[in-house]
Structure 1
């Protein structure tokens, strides 16, 4: 059985041999260890390319079944935005041998955590079922992987197109919801797969055809482009027998050509203003930064925590607690395969001008790039990430997600442990230097301002009489 590597013991050396306190890994001055997640797993690959990961956890008689396809909105060609998400919806509308509503038999079997999602780099489908229902869900998942297209009709496509477009309308009508369209268009150049958002455009959704559905399925939904995770009340021998039975006869799809990384080389800062029906100014600045595969992405998560996560973070303390000019501060790294996004957003109090947020961003970031975090700030950030990561692995579905993401993005189901080792071994100098490498590059900022309030007089001039006479 393969097991995530145990955290290595760090040898504490005398401080007289250390050139700088900033160069000492944080763990060496605190616990010395990244949390050991003890997330055991085994893996195998079917002859058709389907990769399977099995995590045995007998605490409850349930199994999480999570299947991840290496396809997302980044794979959409020009004129087809929103299609990956639309296709996800179609996957719940029946297959050739069960042309019914996906969730009904699973609900009858007592399943929980049933859903799917689409993002830039992947599409996933998941559910947690009682152990006796495992054959049911494997039959259903394999039927839609191998036998979907005969059940997809024009009526189903039109129906799900309407559902997705309504979802887009509802989302876009939320306060500040449209900012990311402008933010990502300003951050990523034309032709970059991340320039458009996963939800897509109304026009492209209208243009989606049954031919597009068939082409998408045949290109991306083969077993060799998927990772299947079974986590819970199951062992690898049982998993191999069942997965081979249900998935083994599905033909492989074509190999997929793809970019490995594509971080835009943005040299200049760009800044734009948009107006919306909002009560106060939102200033949202973002940088294109290292891929989630790069250790720098983890170091930038520590920088984000110091700058704007929690009540002791720098921007929160200044803008919300001390100056009381803002109602919310959010700083985080959005991790993607080709390039991640470092996102900094400040929502000001009503009446405050956007320049207040911009000046604070400029000043606080400049100081951070010069000095980096203090050791105390870094300790809090590390503790925060450790706790969040451990809590995020409490359920078998959470474990299945971590294993799938590790394999999909890093070719290593154990990557979550590597990630924590990156976090816990970071020094203040490491975090400062990573911030200099990436936050010293060009950014794009969108300020969302409240739309103007205008009115007309009750009654204007009587224009029916024509031009006013000229004075004589």
Structure 2
């Protein structure tokens, strides 16, 4: 059916070509993508790549200008002619099917598919003689030392207020004619407490599926014509709607953006379509070790009545998603997506006066309802005092996932930088102790790491290792050994601290190459109540860390004998060895977190 639909569309395109509007949408998409790509130096679309491709393929580093001109000059007739010249000569279908041992390939092929009689002869390049030119580079002293590093440059944060009281923050960035913005609402997964789990994520996903006057196709069509990107979603503590727009099309893009935010339709047909996809995603999460672990660990750490005691995927449960209805979604939107629960964060090619004027046109008359914004109760949790182990069966799995969790202080704490440095040493970088042990030394895992999920309340500190099945117990023992050592007989060293400091300080100037990265700082500052000069003072605070403070951070976060372990794998092969480790009380549960024994 899919092949037939594609063939029909293709035949129609070759016969009629694109419409004027289709060409205009494609033209705008190409232009906008090119402009956005130029903000980077490298990558797959940055300035260096554009110049290099122009030189390699066309012999002129400025040849990209010819390509841009051709796109702008294209007509439906020239596009149709090009398609028929280059793409109408027939097609080739490759079907890949499993073949049983001893079975002939022709016997395994699906019946009814044509089998090619032969294959094109290989065309080899002309023979040529190549030789390497003599190098004049002196390599005897090793890798050249770098001693001169650029200074950090971060645009000043300006603040303003719309006529209805909405606060805005702007960092001007005029490198490319693009403006990015985020509407940040105090909601997120944590707002699902007392509601059907997944409400926040589901409601935000439906915003761009239709407004009172536009359906999803029309929203997509208008976005393409404007070269705008609009997206919505939720994290643990906040929900947001983002806009990435060309400066030349900003006013029209803002009008579409505001309509999506303020007037979602929540049509039954859209809800049912997204519901089906959502349930499939949950089912998929429950077949993947990482998804299983991230669904089951948070309720074990926080308790299932806590605002954070939910699947950290944000997707909810099958039962909750099946029961969601229009009333639930409208209630969430009414209570949380409102002007008195909003901060607008902007970065890019505009000024405070201009963006305030434009935002006032689309958001300045937005008035909140009389009912107050619900208060999220993010309670403090008493950490477990002893280790617990939860095993989840995944029969025939060639690997086991080992995830440990414990509770760490909030992202807002004063020693957050010391906590991050400690984590970099323990498991947060490639050369960390965990990764060097399980990957580089033992070769039992492709990678092993530790990480902290940012949160306004107590945040989870987790270790992660996907290991070969027959080394599951041994790997768990190594994770525990490293956790005990870093606060015990193998304390953090000056050399480890110096390495993390150098890496993070030297990475700072390149960390804000794009407007999106600048907007990310504005978002983090707003969410975690950071001062406007947070970035500008980072270097001094990174340099000022002391060994004693980093060691104290390790002792405050790493609790090796009170870890909550979630291990997903083939229980027939791993259960007995894991039990023999005596890590703690062992229970077996299913992918929904229900204890089986």
TM-score scaled by length of structure 1: 0.82
* Cα distance in structure 1, aligned partners of 2:539 and 2:385: 32
What's the counterpart of residue 179 of structure 1?
293
Inter-CA distance 353–431: structure 2 relative to 1 (3 Å threshold): same
What's the counterpart of residue 353 of structure 1?
472
Q: The residue matched to 1:329 in structure 2 has which SS?
A: strand
Inter-CA distance 419–48: structure 2 relative to 1 (3 Å threshold): farther
What's the counterpart of residue 74 of structure 1?
190
What's the counterpart of residue 166 of structure 1?
280
Contact 2:419 2:553 in 1 (8 A): yes
Q: The residue matched to 1:351 in structure 2 has which SS?
A: helix
Q: 2:170 aligns with which of 54, 67, 70?
A: 54
In the alignment, structure 1 residue 432 sits paired with structure 2 residue 551: yes
What's the counterpart of residue 101 of structure 2?
none
* Cα distance in structure 2, aligned partners of 1:215 and 1:310: 42
Q: The residue matched to 1:177 in structure 2 has which SS?
A: helix
Q: 1:108 aligns with which of 222, 225, 236?
A: 225
Q: The residue matched to 2:209 in structure 1 has which SS?
A: coil
For structure 1, the 5+ residue unaligned runs are 1-30, 454-472
In the alignment, structure 1 residue 216 sits paired with structure 2 residue 338: no
* Cα distance in structure 2, aligned partners of 1:275 and 1:383: 43
In the alignment, structure 1 residue 288 sits paired with structure 2 residue 407: yes
Q: 2:460 aligns with which of 320, 331, 341?
A: 341
In the alignment, structure 1 residue 447 sits paired with structure 2 residue 563: no
Inter-CA distance 279–225: structure 2 relative to 1 (3 Å threshold): same
Higher relative contact order (CA 8 A, sep 6+): 1
User: Which one is further off, 383-392 or 404-413?
Assistant: 383-392
* Cα distance in structure 2, aligned partners of 1:103 and 1:422: 45
1:29-428 matched pairs, under 5 angstroms: 36-78=152-194, 80-101=196-217, 102-112=219-229, 114-148=230-264, 151-197=265-311, 198-253=314-369, 254-259=372-377, 262-277=380-395, 278-354=397-473, 356-370=474-488, 372-386=491-505, 390-410=509-529, 412-417=531-536, 421-428=540-547
* Cα distance in structure 2, aligned partners of 1:69 and 1:177: 26
Inter-CA distance 174–140: structure 2 relative to 1 (3 Å threshold): same
Q: The residue matched to 2:210 in structure 1 has which SS?
A: coil
Contact 1:403 1:414 in 2 (8 A): no
Q: The residue matched to 2:160 in structure 1 has which SS?
A: strand
* Cα distance in structure 2, aligned partners of 1:332 and 1:156: 36
* Cα distance in structure 2, aligned partners of 1:389 and 1:205: 42
Offset of 1:363 from its aligned partner? 2.0
Offset of 1:60 from its aligned partner? 0.9
Inter-CA distance 391–165: structure 2 relative to 1 (3 Å threshold): farther
Contact 2:394 2:570 in 1 (8 A): yes
Offset of 1:390 from its aligned partner? 4.6
* Cα distance in structure 1, aligned partners of 2:535 and 2:380: 23
Offset of 1:67 from its aligned partner? 1.7
Q: The residue matched to 1:295 in structure 2 has which SS?
A: coil
Offset of 1:404 from its aligned partner? 1.9
Inter-CA distance 53–180: structure 2 relative to 1 (3 Å threshold): same
For residues 384-433 of structure 1, what are the alpha-carbon distances to aligned partners after superposition, in whole Å with 9 as ceiling and x for unaligned? Answer: 33455554422112211210221122154544445555433222211110
CA RMSD of aligned residues (A): 2.6
* Cα distance in structure 2, aligned partners of 1:299 and 1:179: 27
Contact 1:34 1:421 in 2 (8 A): no
Q: The residue matched to 1:407 in structure 2 has which SS?
A: helix
For residues 314-359 of structure 1, what are the alpha-carbon distances to aligned partners after superposition, in whole Å with 9 as ceiling and x for unaligned? Answer: 12222222233333211111111112111111222342132x1232
Inter-CA distance 306–268: structure 2 relative to 1 (3 Å threshold): same
